[in-house]
């Protein structure tokens, strides 16, 4: 990830307005952070906000693609790492919702998320990386553990252990144990 936190050169210490866009975006004006799982302007519990100011290398004016009009019942799939946007408010006559179904590798960082997600799900509140609030905690028919029918689904939610015999090596087995 490219991050302004690791500014190294004089051109970065000056205000962005004092250098050309080309110099500002030059590779030697940035460093790649391969250690952190943080993504600039993406605080936990809030939606990610992208702009030319916070993520200039993304060139959003050229790379952000608008979704074509969808109708009730339509289903839209996108790659999770692809930038997408959902309208800030529903101006339509019908209820609208977005269902997020992630598919991610099992890493220690994701194991921590699974554990937090499990507790949030059982409490009926949004997962840790979504805006907070009461969620469905006051609903009489909110999702419960027994609603997740498959073993894979239970594992993804941290409600069942992983099969350690399926691990390809000791490192993978250790991560599976943590989950």
Per this entry, what is the length of the chain? 179
Domain range enclosing 40: 2-63
Asked whether residue 92 is assigned to any structural domain, the reply reads: no
Domain count within the chain:
2
Is the Cβ–Cβ distance between 50 and 27 less than 8 Å?
Answer: no
Residues 6+ apart with CB under 8 A from 34: none
Do 112 and 59 fall within a single domain?
Answer: no
Inter-residue contact 1 to 32 (CB < 8 Å): yes
Reduced to 3 states, what is the DSSP secondary structure of residue 2? strand
Residue 72 domain flag = no
Predicted local distance difference test score (pLDDT) of residue 1:
43
Is 131 contained in some domain?
yes
Per the domain annotation, does 100 fall within a domain? no
**Does a structural domain hold residue 80?**
no
Q: How far apart are CA 143 and CA 121, in angstroms?
A: 8
Distance, CA of 73 to CA of 158 (rounded, Å)? 30
Q: Helix, strand, or coil here: 29?
A: helix
pTM: 0.54
Spatial distance between the Cα atoms of 156 and 111, rounded to a whole number of angstroms? 9
75 within domain boundaries: no
Q: 36-60: per-residue pLDDT in tens?
A: 766 655 666 566 677 777 778 788 8
Give 86's pLDDT tier (boundaries 50, 70, 90): low
116 pairs with which residues across the strands? none
Residues 119 and 59 occupy one common structural domain: no
42, part of any domain: yes
69 within domain boundaries: no
Region 116-127: mean pLDDT is 89
Q: Return mean pLDDT, the chain.
A: 77
């Amino acid at each position: 990830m490219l991050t302004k936190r690791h500014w190294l050169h004089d051109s970065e210490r000056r205000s962005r307005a004092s250098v050309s866009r080309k110099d500002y975006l030059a590779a030697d004006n940035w460093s790649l952070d391969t250690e952190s799982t943080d993504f600039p302007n993406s605080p936990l519990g809030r939606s990610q906000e992208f702009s030319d100011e916070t993520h200039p290398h993304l060139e959003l004016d050229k790379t952000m693609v608008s979704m074509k009009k969808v109708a009730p019942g339509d289903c839209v799939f996108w790659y999770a790492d692809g930038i997408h946007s959902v309208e800030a408010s529903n101006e339509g006559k019908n209820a609208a919702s977005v269902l997020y179904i992630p598919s991610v590798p099992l890493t220690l960082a994701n194991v921590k998320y699974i554990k937090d997600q499990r507790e949030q799900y059982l409490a009926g509140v949004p997962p840790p990386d979504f805006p907070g609030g009461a969620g469905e905690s006051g609903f009489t028919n909110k999702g419960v553990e027994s609603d997740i029918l498959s073993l894979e689904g239970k594992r993804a939610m941290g409600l069942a252990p992983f099969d350690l015999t399926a691990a390809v090596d000791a490192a993978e087995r250790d991560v599976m144990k943590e989950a």
